[in-house]
Amino acid sequence: MKRVLIGTPIHSGAHPAYITSLDETVALLPRAGWAAKPLIQTGSLVTLLRNGIAAEFLAGKADVLLWIDADEGWRAGDVVSLLEATSQLPIVGGVYRKKLIHLREFDWKAIAVAAKAGVAPELLQFVGQDLALGFNPEDIDGERGYVGPTKTLYGRIFVRAAHVGTGFLAVTRNALERIATFDDPKLAPECSGGMRAFFDTGVADRKFHGEDVLFCRLARKAGLEVWLDTETLVDHYGPIGVTGDLRGERLHEYAKRQARS
């Protein structure tokens, strides 16, 4: 049986949807051939927590480190698909929308246009969505949308990404070990507790980035590709709960918007 460590850094508590989804996931995974162990660490510095969880993962025997944030809800079946995909895709994440703090963060003008065009009410939240991911410039086109490589695994569509959010991300042991040996000053030597700075914030290309972007950037420098399961549906909770979606034509819509920005 394959083994997965489900890592969750928590700053100020877990959403009830996270607890429910985690219980369902831990119950389902053994039936799908995966032994699951949740590892929750609490503190105020998320990068420290992530690096601590990564160190425990490397010191253990799990095959995959699955990051899931405590402000999310998800379908347990999506976790199974993500984990199964790691047999071919060493770093693969799911789709989720960036957390909204207020209703004004919706693109109301675009939503109004879509509503007049006949878009179903339950789909309007996906209009103008801002997702925790980004595509490589060479993989997107302002007219055609996503034009990069695509893989179909287990009936689901996977596409290549420049970066995906660490809130729903699977990383294999081989991938993390490969990154650990990459010639980058921040990765050596090990810090206290056997930690390495896999996850850090900082500046690149004159922009400030979070640990998700810089981790994926580090992985790509080490010769690894980052992939995205377009079929996931993850709920992200702040004061307002939202769902990210890139299924079907929304993949191309989102890619076109990024290409034109």
Q: What single string gives the DSSP state of each residue in 54-99?
A: HHHHHHS--SEEEEE-TTEEE-HHHHHHHHHHTTT-SEEEEEEBPP
Please give the Cα distance from 139 to 163 (Å, whole number). Answer: 13
Please give the Cα distance from 244 to 85 (Å, whole number). Answer: 20
Please give the Cα distance from 84 to 34 (Å, whole number). Answer: 9
218 pLDDT higher than 80? yes
Total number of domains constituting the chain: 1
Contact partners, residue 112, CB within 8 Å, separation at least 6: none
Contact partners, residue 231, CB within 8 Å, separation at least 6: 78, 81, 156, 157, 247
- Tens of pLDDT, residues 187-211: 766 777 788 899 999 887 788 889 9
We report the CATH number of the domain holding residue 104 as 3.90.550.40
CA separation, residue 172 to residues 99, 199, 204, 250 (Å) = 26, 16, 25, 28
Pairwise pLDDT comparison (225 vs 197), residue with the higher score? 225
Quick one: pLDDT at residue 172?
A: 98
List helix spans (H) across the chain: 16-28, 46-59, 76-85, 108-116, 173-180, 211-221, 249-260
- Tens of pLDDT, residues 61-120: 999 999 999 999 999 999 999 999 999 999 999 999 999 888 888 888 988 998 999 988
pLDDT, the chain, mean: 93
Please give the Cα distance from 11 to 109 (Å, whole number). Answer: 34
Please give the Cα distance from 125 to 151 (Å, whole number). Answer: 27
Range of the structural domain that residue 156 is part of: 2-260
Largest CA distance in the chain: 58
- Tens of pLDDT, residues 233-247: 999 999 889 999 999
The phi, psi pair for 43, rounded to 5°, reads 165, -175
Quick one: pLDDT at residue 166?
A: 97
Quick one: pLDDT at residue 1?
A: 94
Please give the Cα distance from 224 to 219 (Å, whole number). Answer: 5
Structure pTM? Answer: 0.93
- Which two three-digit tokens encode residue 139? 């993989």
What pairs with residue 91 in β-bridges?
A: 171
